[in-house]
Structure 1
């Protein structure tokens, strides 16, 4: 019975509107334009020479202490979206033998500066440094405490070529002068070969003479 009433109501409704002009069906709203994903800027392009795998010569020094050496291995790859570099480091010999470290280096557009966060197996801490390019060198500065004393650090990435680069670490204790404590000379493993020159076009074969 209910179905019959519903059907009757439907028929009555259709008959009432049969003579009425057809209603305009509103057009479906246009789909919103897909937002374009941001892309790394030129600041990240300047970091590309640091990408790759490197054999590292380690040189440690300090006030009143003899210089010692070691060896390490570093692999640097792009982070998510290409906005950072991911650094994985292992010391293979020397005074820091067995140390493993991990760093994230990139451009912070909001702060208008480069930033690096570094952690390693030597201490329960996160070192954050910031910096910019000074000429052809990338210089990162940080601060913290060591044994209850204020410490300032400066990390300089220099001698940047297709074959590698050098990382120099300096520290200042309690406002004293900066002193070099470590130098890491990176030698690229499997450097990309220079592109081969384009081959000259082949000379056209001479047209045979006709008799």
Structure 2
């Protein structure tokens, strides 16, 4: 069973901030949508993963660091939609359901600069990875889950390639979102059996 970001096994992991700086991913020669920032360790690992890809294919980062206010707005909006879809759902259950797609702000990897949303691009644009980035489980009938069966063979091949290069560089995937990869956050610490995350909220750096 997938462990979600709302799980006590994740929320109970401490974050011991190492004060690593945020960097502009442009300085690592990474393709991005607009200016995107991440922790230095994340940026370096993404740059390494990019070199593992076959000629003509590159990583493309759509979003990195996310302001805490924006994270809360996304969570609140998605949760409200779930409450409309499931009238009478309990606070606990809707919180868990929402965390499949949007992290609770108190543990959100994007807020720490520890996560990126990304895809693969080729000479003619984005490759097929089964769904658009940010397709919800409801919109995609679960095809947004990394291991979803209801995607094409081509999309499965591209997801496997994405996983190969990012895993080799030390990042981990949140399995309900094929596009979400992180390093140094609580989910990474859980999967890598580390005692703590190394990045807390990025606003703590100021």
Give TM-score scaled by structure 2 length. Answer: 0.26
TM-score (norm 1): 0.26
Q: Which has the higher strand share?
A: 1
**Structure with max Cα Rg:** 1
Specify which structure has the bigger relative contact order, considering alpha-carbon pairs within 8 angstroms and separated by 6 or more residues: 2
